[in-house]
Each structure stands twice: as C-alpha cells, then as structure tokens.
Amino acid sequence: MRVSTLYKNNQPVLSMEFFPPRNQAASETFNGVIDTLSALDPDYLSITFGAGGSTRDGSYQAVKVLIVNKKLPTVAYIAGYGLGPDDIREVLDKYKEIGVETIFVIRGDKPKTDDAALHPDSFLYASDLIAFIKSHYDFTLGCAGYPEGHIEAESLDMDIHYLKQKVENGAEYVVTQYFYDNAYFFNFVEKCKAQGIDVPIIPGIMPVYTVNMTRMLSKVCGSTITKALDTQLNAVNPDDTDSVLKLGIEFATEQCRGLLKKGVPGLHFYTMDRSKSTVAIVQQLRQENLL
C-alpha cells in the first residue's frame, strides 16, 4: 500500500498512528484498540519507531501483526538519529520482506543523556535519511511538518526550508505535528506552497485525552494550547475522566469540521493507543457526511 496514491483521490483519507506495545499486557490492549479502530475502515495505520532504534523489534513485530496477521494497510516509521547506514538497511530490509511499501521518515529525538551511544555515521537530519533511503529502495516516503515550527528550529520559515529539502530528497507527503488552532495549519500550508512544496500536507489531530498529558505534550512538542482550550482545561475536573474525554472529543470534532470544510486531503489521528475518542470523532464526522 503506497500512501501517495491515496491522496490522489478526491475523498479525505483517514489515517491513525500507534506506538508499539512494550510488554504482554500492553500487547493485549494494543490488539483490542487496533480491532476497534480498524472497524472504522481507516485508509491506513502507522506504527512509530523509537529514538535510536529503542523500539526496533517492537515496532517490527507490531507492523508484522498489522500487515501479515490482520491484513491492514500499514505504514512503518523509521527514526534515523543514532543509527548507522547498515542499521537502517537492516530495518528496511525486514520491512520490505513483510510487504511494507510506505515508510514515514523522521530524524528522531536526540538522546537525553550525553553518554548515549551514537553511530559515527548516524543520520542527523531527516532530509539526509530520506535521500539515503531513496537511493537504495523504492519505498514511498512520508515526512513530518510543523505548523508552528519545530521546537528546535530557528524560525517557522527556516523550518519550512528544511521541509522543502525533505521533499526535494524524495518525501511524497507530509503529516503535521498536531495543533489546536486551525489557523496555524492553514498559514503553514500557504507558506509551504509559496516555497514550492506541492505534495499533500495532512493535518495531525491530537484529541485531549487527559489534562496533564495535554499540558505536558504541549511543552515537549511546541504545540500551543490556545486560550479557548486553556479555558476549557481549567474548567474541567482533571480527575473526571468522562468529562475530560467529552471535552477532547468535542474540541477535536470542531477542529476536524473546520479542516474538512476547507478541503484538507485527510485527517491523521494520534491515538496514543486509545480508541474511544477517535471512534466518537470519526462517527460524528461521518454522520455529517464530512468524512
């Protein structure tokens, strides 16, 4: 399954992201979530890959379960930071053997400790990793974009310059970091077009799952909590799980309405290996004939 072909259709593409389970208990939950969300008939699923190959085996096993056992259209992530060319080829060869055709390429997070072992020929930038993969394989490649600029970038304009390099090196579609104000996304798309980036740009959607998670991830990812959302987060009891989920579902559904009415190529849900919110949002959008 080549993702680039999906975005050539006129219908919005529905995709969902998962991270690989880390133990047996998590595997059981993961399989249940996959079964629940695959019933929505998404166009594809994606499995993340830990920094420095930290989830290499788990990511491979999760991708294999989805493709081989469950027969689901699946994209495999790869993060290059810390890995050498031979490591990358070993991972990609294994993915190719089980039928993966699309790879989502990211740099990956830098190690949090100075003593982490990095391969001397590690790929320091996603654009370089994309060029390497493109020169050795025929995978369809995707990459990440940041509507508010990557947290390490000098500016949004420079970050878009780096994104253009990824596309010039072979990326055929972009999935963005999540955001809580659609204006960030539409401004980003316009700036990308002005720089000659003409591949599909897909908005990433992160519903509020818990108040603490939302605030923590906002700091880590650089995704602004808007005044409107902040007011709602302050008003809800963070220990009232149902109320928090309801808030998140309603806020994300309204976001998705605005995006779909403007003709975005698709929606990409960051599920955090949970199902309830994504199910509710997708079902509501389908009832409104938006998705």
- Count the Cβ atoms, other than its own, within 10 Å of residue 195: 14
Residues belonging to the active site:
17
Give the C-alpha separation, 128 to 133, whole Å.
9
CA-only gyration radius of the chain, Å: 18
Query: pLDDT digit string (tens) for 234-246?
Result: 999 999 999 999 9
pLDDT at 247: 98
- Count the Cβ atoms, other than its own, within 10 Å of residue 226: 15
For 31, counting Cβ atoms within 10 Å of its Cβ (0-12 exposed, 13-18 middle, 19+ buried), the class is middle
Query: pLDDT digit string (tens) for 176-201?
Result: 999 999 999 999 999 999 999 999 99
32 band by pLDDT with thresholds 50, 70 and 90: very high
For residues 16 and 59, the model is more confident at 16
Torsion angle of alpha carbons 273, 92, 119, 150, nearest 10°? -50
Q: What percent of the chain has pLDDT over 90?
A: 83
Give the C-alpha separation, 256 to 253, whole Å.
5
In the predicted model, is pLDDT for residue 136 greater than 70? Answer: yes
Residue 233 CA: distances (Å) to CA of 72, 158, 183, 240, 241: 36, 32, 20, 12, 12
In the predicted model, is pLDDT for residue 9 greater than 90? Answer: no
Provide CATH code, domain 3-286: 3.20.20.220
In the predicted model, is pLDDT for residue 110 greater than 80? Answer: no
Query: pLDDT digit string (tens) for 51-108?
Result: 665 667 889 999 999 999 999 999 999 998 788 899 999 999 999 999 999 999 998 8
pTM of model > 0.85? yes
Residue 14 CA: distances (Å) to CA of 55, 62, 139, 283: 25, 20, 21, 12
Give the C-alpha separation, 120 to 39, whole Å.
44
- The token pair that represents 93 in the structure block: 């060869």
